[in-house]
A and B are shown apart, each in its own frame.
Chain A
Amino acid sequence: MMIFCGIDCGTETLKIVLHVNGSLQWLVLPYESQFEPSFVEEVSYNFFKNQGIKISDIRNTVVTGSGRKLVTFAKKTLPEIFCLAKAVEKFFPDAGVAIDIGARSFNIIRCKRGRILKFITNNRCAAGAGISLKILSDILEVSLKELDDLYFLSQTPCYIHSACAVFMESEVISFLHQGKKVEDIIKGAILNFAGKIATLIAEVENEREIVFSGGVARMKSIAFALQDKLKKQILIPQNPEIINAIGASLIAQEMDIR
């Protein structure tokens, strides 16, 4: 059996992908509380067992994500951008730019045949990461799902311009006090969010196809707002949150061949 494993330890969810003789099996699991390395191991072993796989059957494991350094059983750890580039090469060979937005980070890469030519990440700042959407949903007292749906109901979005998530929060609160509609505030905030990402994409390249992945890519509103800002179609994988983990498993496979 040729089995390879890719694990993405994000800040909110753990993603495990198994590459078994060319077919994929995966698991996406949010952490219950703070990240614990032992939790990752426990979950991984259980997942392997449920799939009828012995740990000794796995030829190679590559771990990525912000918690990657804490996972002990992996052969190799890699930053997310390499895994992202690898997965994009495999599934979207014509794409030139990939954006991955997670809970606390985002990566924008310009790549060619799996090689990274340029990249931007959110350096020490919550703006443009999923958490700023969570903050928005918390102040407005709606779920992320409702947030996503309400975006499409707005005809007259509010103008929100703060890049900083904390200042965005103050802006949203003053719009609430002014009696603006929740959907208009949401659309304004999401357009602002997408605007920031679009500006960064333009810094990298905006000619070839763009892939959008990560947990935030599940939100249709963000994808629409991004398309609106970029004035072009973007490609979204079917399971956008596991892209990095798939990339990690592909790299695990490649390492074996070499």
Chain B
Amino acid sequence: MIFGGIDIGSRTTKVCILENRKLVSYTIIKTTPKISETAYVAMSELLSKNGIHLKDISYIVATGYGRINVPFAHKQVTEISCHALGITFFSTNIRTILDMGGQDLKIIRCDEKGRVLKFIMNDKCAAGVGRFIERIAEILKIPIESVGPLSLDSTNPEKISNYCVIFALEEVLFLLKQGKVINNILAGVLDGFTERIFNMLNRFGIEKELAVCGGIAKNIGIVKRLEKMLEIPLFIPPEPQIVGAIGAAMFAKKFYENKEVFENGGIF
């Protein structure tokens, strides 16, 4: 039995296929404005890589902000539920999930069965999301992958006082003009960024263990800073971006096996 999960995020689209409880394969591509096209491209790429056909997949669940635009999905589930269920694929000891995506940030409390107990979300302001890091990388003309490593190699972090991304970018430009070192600017930016997330986590309340997923979990600069601030080890899945897609595939299995019976904690 093969099940598919597709997570259409605001910046990247993630697709994975599970055979019972084993991850067969996954792919991550950039989301284009034509969402259903992106979904097709991602899925067919994955299918041809594994030599299977769409009809071989018993059930497909879509999640993420573009989930309603996936023509081949049988059902849609919110990314909050998918992350809570998806994280159990990696570990059942996780009680708090920090999901840092391209355009939103979610903190989810879940139980050992992957049910959502409560969550908070920021999708109104760019100050704590991946887009901020992307913009900083653009302005400094460096690849986004090197933001984290460079920020850790800093002797004297600059202080970035602005909260808003737009104003912070202007501040960064001004620092550049003054001839400040990129590493120190980046360190300042990530210090502020991490502090915001830290404050949000504290307001929400952390229960161990804490998993970090989403694209930003790949940024070593933020992960290291968070670990230092929180003083607890973080659980980071081997591929932090596909937790939602795996959760969607696990939902597909549940839906397929007992049709309408399963309800994930009700409202979420």
Q: Which residues of A contact B (CB under 8 A)?
A: 34, 104, 124-126, 131-132, 135, 162-167, 170, 173-175, 177-178
Q: Is the CB of A125 within 8 A of B164?
A: yes
Q: Is the CB of A104 within 8 A of B33?
A: no
Q: Find the residue from B32, B103, B132, B167 having the highest chain A CB count within 10 A.
A: B167
Q: Is the CB of A124 within 8 A of B163?
A: yes
- Partner pick for A177 among B10, B32, B126, B177, CB 8 A cutoff: B32
Q: Find the residue from B32, B125, B135 having the highest chain A CB count within 10 A.
A: B125
* Closest chain A CB from B53 CB (angstroms): 30
A126-B167, A131-B166, A175-B33 known; 13 new pairs, CB 8 Å cut-off, are A34-B174, A34-B177, A126-B165, A126-B166, A135-B166, A163-B125, A164-B125, A164-B165, A165-B126, A165-B165, A166-B135, A167-B126, A177-B32
Q: Is the CB of B124 within 8 A of A163?
A: yes
Residue pairs across A and B with Cβ atoms less than 8 A apart, 30 shown, are A104-B167, A124-B162, A124-B163, A124-B167, A125-B125, A125-B163, A125-B164, A126-B164, A126-B166, A126-B167, A131-B166, A162-B124, A163-B124, A164-B124, A164-B125, A164-B165, A165-B126, A165-B165, A165-B166, A166-B126, A166-B131, A166-B135, A166-B166, A167-B103, A170-B131, A173-B33, A175-B33, A177-B32, A177-B34, A178-B34
* Closest chain B CB from A175 CB (angstroms): 8
Give A135 to B167 CA distance when docked, in angstroms.
12
Please give me the 3 A-B residue pairs with the lowest Cβ-Cβ distance, nearest first: A166-B126, A126-B166, A177-B33
Give A126 to B132 CA distance when docked, in angstroms.
14
With A166-B126, A178-B33 as contacts: A132 and B166 at CB distance below 8 Å: yes
* Closest chain A CB from B163 CB (angstroms): 4
Give A126 to B135 CA distance when docked, in angstroms.
15
Give A20 to B165 CA distance when docked, in angstroms.
43
* Closest chain B CB from A190 CB (angstroms): 17
Task: Name B115-157 residues within 8 Å CB distance of A.
Answer: 124-126, 131-132, 135
Chain B 163-190, CB-CB to A under 8 Å as 1, else 0, gives: 1111100000010010000000000000
Q: Find the residue from B32, B34, B126 having the highest chain A CB count within 10 A.
A: B126
Contacts of B163 in A (CB 8 A): 124-125
Question: Closest A-chain residue to B103, C-beta based?
Answer: A167
Q: Is the CB of A170 within 8 A of B103?
A: yes
Chain B 1-28, CB-CB to A under 8 Å as 1, else 0, gives: 0000000001000000000000000000
Question: Closest A-chain residue to B132, C-beta based?
Answer: A166
Contacts of B166 in A (CB 8 A): 126, 131-132, 135, 165-166
Give A162 to B166 CA distance when docked, in angstroms.
14
Give A177 to B124 CA distance when docked, in angstroms.
23
Contacts of B10 in A (CB 8 A): 170
Contacts of B32 in A (CB 8 A): 177
Contacts of B126 in A (CB 8 A): 164-167
Question: Closest B-chain residue to A135, C-beta based?
Answer: B166
Give A77 to B56 CA distance when docked, in angstroms.
73
Question: Closest A-chain residue to B125, C-beta based?
Answer: A164
Contacts of A162 in B (CB 8 A): 124
* Closest chain A CB from B152 CB (angstroms): 25
Give A163 to B166 CA distance when docked, in angstroms.
13
Give A120 to B55 CA distance when docked, in angstroms.
57
* Closest chain B CB from A140 CB (angstroms): 16
Give A235 to B33 CA distance when docked, in angstroms.
40
Q: Find the residue from A34, A164, A175 having the highest chain B CB count within 10 A.
A: A164
Contacts of B177 in A (CB 8 A): 34
Q: Is the CB of A124 within 8 A of B164?
A: yes
Give A191 to B94 CA distance when docked, in angstroms.
44
Question: Closest B-chain residue to A174, C-beta based?
Answer: B33
Give A34 to B162 CA distance when docked, in angstroms.
16
Give A131 to B167 CA distance when docked, in angstroms.
9
* Closest chain B CB from A235 CB (angstroms): 29
* Closest chain B CB from A249 CB (angstroms): 29
Question: Closest B-chain residue to A179, C-beta based?
Answer: B33
Give A125 to B165 CA distance when docked, in angstroms.
8
Question: Closest A-chain residue to B163, C-beta based?
Answer: A124
Contacts of A131 in B (CB 8 A): 166
Give A179 to B103 CA distance when docked, in angstroms.
23
Give A124 to B32 CA distance when docked, in angstroms.
31
* Closest chain B CB from A212 CB (angstroms): 23
Give A167 to B163 CA distance when docked, in angstroms.
15
Contacts of A166 in B (CB 8 A): 126, 131-132, 135, 165-166
Give A104 to B33 CA distance when docked, in angstroms.
30
Give A178 to B131 CA distance when docked, in angstroms.
21
Give A164 to B166 CA distance when docked, in angstroms.
9
Give A62 to B125 CA distance when docked, in angstroms.
36
* Closest chain B CB from A185 CB (angstroms): 13
Give A34 to B170 CA distance when docked, in angstroms.
11
* Closest chain B CB from A189 CB (angstroms): 15
